[in-house]
Amino acid sequence: MRLSKRSGSRLSRMNMTPMIDIVFLLLIFFMTVTQASRVKEEQLELPQQEGSRDKETASLTINIRQDGQLVMLGRVLQLDRLLALVNEELVRVDNDPRRINIELRVDQRGESRAANQVAKSLEQLNIKRVSFAVQVPR
């Protein structure tokens, strides 16, 4: 029986290329997810109100800018298109308006006309779970 004279004196080298690829893919993934989560959090000056309740998760977030533009999912929409998207969400939840939470984020510097139109339109769709976002003063 012949024994090898090389008995582990040499360390095997690891190929680090796949690990570096994975790190870069994870970096790209987390950067993309972070950007997507900021889409609904448009920079608005919200009215301030004291409170201790945390923000509930909303299935839909509608931003209303100072100039009255309606923004949902990062896109500026007209009221009829916005209501069409809400109707699509209603269909997705088996036409049960109790299962839809809508959060309205209204810029306090703007007029309330757009917010009133959206609220009335949502009421016509029988959606009762509508909340207005406020900023807690520090």
pLDDT band at 17 (very low <50, low <70, confident <90, very high): confident
pLDDT band at 72 (very low <50, low <70, confident <90, very high): confident
Question: Tokens for 20?
Answer: 């570096």
83 vs 74: CA distance, rounded Å: 16
- Please write the tens of the pLDDT for every residue from 1-15: 566 666 555 567 778
Query: In the chain, what are the domain boundaries?
Result: 60-132
- Find the radius of gyration of the CA atoms of the chain: 26
Total-model pTM: 0.60
CATH of segment(s) 60-132:
3.30.420.270
85 vs 64: CA distance, rounded Å: 16
